[in-house]
A = this chain, B = another copy of it.
């Protein structure tokens, strides 16, 4: 039945694809994940800060510090 999946597989499979990132302090960002490391530090390209499902601020390329990440999910849009 194949090998057991590991949590970082999701990061690897999401490279160069759009993701949603839930962060501490109630922040949410959306963008294309172009890099990550073992601390979950990630770079989003075309990053946008989302508030109530609306774009509050466009940041462009952005480094997010891993210890502020709550969840990361591939985005459908």
Contacts and interface: CB of A to CB of B under 8 A. Distances in A.
Interface of A: 4-11, 15, 20, 22-27, 29, 34-37, 40-43, 47, 59-74, 76
Copies of this chain in its oligomeric complex: 7
A61 B43 contact: no
A44 B36 CA distance: 19
A35 B5 CA distance: 5
Contacts of A10: 35, 43, 61-63
A65 B34 CA distance: 19
Contact of A35 (B6, B29, B40, B66): B6
A76 B5 CA distance: 23
Contact of A47 (B5, B60, B73): B73
